Structure 1
Amino acid sequence: MISLQFLLTALVVVIASGTGVIYTLAIGLGQGRWPAVAAAFGCTIGIVPHLAAATLGLAALLHTSALLFNVVKFAGVAYLLYLAWQSLKSGGALAVGANRKVDRPWRIARRGALINILNPKLSVFFLALLPPFLTGTPDTATTEMITLGAVFMALTFAVFVLYGLFAARARDWLLSSAVRMRWLNRSFAGIFAALAGRLALERA
């Protein structure tokens, strides 16, 4: 049975999530409602490898292997810097513009998934978050981890969709001003660059 304490903890974590929220907001503002839903879906799917690693014990290996951790970490840093550039580039994947084309949903979802997949801290995070909420019965530990992970993913998707829909509602107001669009693109680029810098400083 899922405890209220876990639900509240997971909800706080999801609401305060960083990179995935920023990405979903950027897509909602730049491309609208359904692309934002695709972004939320991609960010949610990107959690799966980390939950699997935590369940199978691979997160502990990642935590103890500095080489493996750094390989994933710097791939993530490079990807975040790429997203920063895409925010500034005219017609880029994250650029907000009045006449930009809407990306295909699978491309939006793929970028969202990669944001989480390439963050090695997530595996270690889930290894720390989930076990305290297990019943302590060895025979059901794996099932419980999967269940808790599924609930966490459901909360992630729901909250991210709300973020995306909120951003999509503000889109018309944003697109009415070239100045607002320009500063928003610069802001997203700066945020993604800052997140890349923070990830680069993370240690296993």
Structure 2
Amino acid sequence: MPPISTLLPFFGISLLLGLTPGPDNVFVLLQSAMRGPRAGMIVVFGLCTGLLVHTTVVAVGLGALLAASKLAFTVLKSAGALYLAYLAWRAFRAPVGVVSTDSGESPGAGHMYRRGVLMNLTNPKVVIFFLAFLPQFVAADRGHISLQITVLGIVFIAASLIVFGAIAYFSGVFGQLLLRSARAQRALNWFAGAVFLGLAAKLASTHL
């Protein structure tokens, strides 16, 4: 079990990393702005579920497979890039109109949750990052390695929940105002599509 002297700085670093621009927090920001803070928080829960899966993968040692196997990395990377491209296509084709963010036209909670899970799980850089980051705070003389990694992963998820939740709340409130304008909604949809396309291209060009 990592001591408090290790967990506190790890938590602080995790908070800072959560603020670093990347696919997950950009996804939360855009979904919150377009669909409201509730949808954003549901996406956040989905993303954190994905982080829990990544933590489990690294804890049991399977993360090494992706780090060592170019084929496994390429397959997961390609799936992630295709999913981001699909999200871009959906954003470009999204209808616009002066609607309330709490209207019945928004995707259901289950759909938004699954989006968050898929967004996180199809990003191979997350598990590679976990594999490189978490073990730095592990010591063999503190007990079972897998347990230490699991605890660190949970702390990282808690930090991500705080950061992503704040992003969802504040961008969601702003988005409620934006979505009352069809012109602003159209611009936001095209911006989202461009961002997703850019993220897809960046992920597709990523190498081990």
Normalized against structure 1, the TM-score is what? Answer: 0.91
2:73 is aligned to: 69
Deviations 1:25-60 (A, max 9, x none): 222122212111101101111112221221122111
Deviations 1:110-150 (A, max 9, x none): 01110110111111110111111113327321111111100
Greater shift, 123-132 or 165-174, is seen at 165-174
Aligned residues between the structures: 200
Residue of structure 2 aligned with 1:171, choices 160, 172, 175: 175
Residue of structure 2 aligned with 1:146, choices 147, 150, 168: 150
For the pair 1:16 / 2:20, whether they are aligned, the reply is: yes
Normalized against structure 2, the TM-score is what? Answer: 0.89
Q: Distance in 2 between matches of 1:33 and 1:121?
A: 27
1:203 is aligned to: 207
For the pair 1:114 / 2:125, whether they are aligned, the reply is: no
Offset of residue 177 of structure 1: 2.7
What is the CA RMSD across the aligned residues, in angstroms? 1.7
Please list every run of at least 4 consecutive aligned residues from structure 1 whose deviation after the TM superposition is greater than 2 angstroms.
Answer: 1-4, 96-100, 135-140, 175-179
Q: Distance in 2 between matches of 1:172 and 1:17?
A: 23
Q: Distance in 1 between matches of 2:121 and 2:21?
A: 14
Q: Distance in 2 between matches of 1:175 and 1:115?
A: 24
For the pair 1:31 / 2:35, whether they are aligned, the reply is: yes
Identical pairs, percent: 33
Question: Quick one: which amino acid aligns to residue 75 of structure 2?
Answer: V
For the pair 1:191 / 2:205, whether they are aligned, the reply is: no
Q: Which runs of 5+ in 1 are unaligned?
A: none
2:52 is aligned to: 48
Deviations 1:56-114 (A, max 9, x none): 221111111111111111010000000111111124xxxx7533612111110101110
Greater shift, 174-183 or 33-42, is seen at 174-183
The question of whether the paired residues in 2 share the 8 Å contact of 1:73 and 1:200 is answered with yes
Q: Distance in 2 between matches of 1:97 and 1:125?
A: 40
The question of whether the paired residues in 1 share the 8 Å contact of 2:35 and 2:176 is answered with no
Q: Distance in 1 between matches of 2:53 and 2:198?
A: 25
2:162 is aligned to: 158
Q: Distance in 2 between matches of 1:172 and 1:125?
A: 34
The question of whether the paired residues in 2 share the 8 Å contact of 1:30 and 1:97 is answered with no
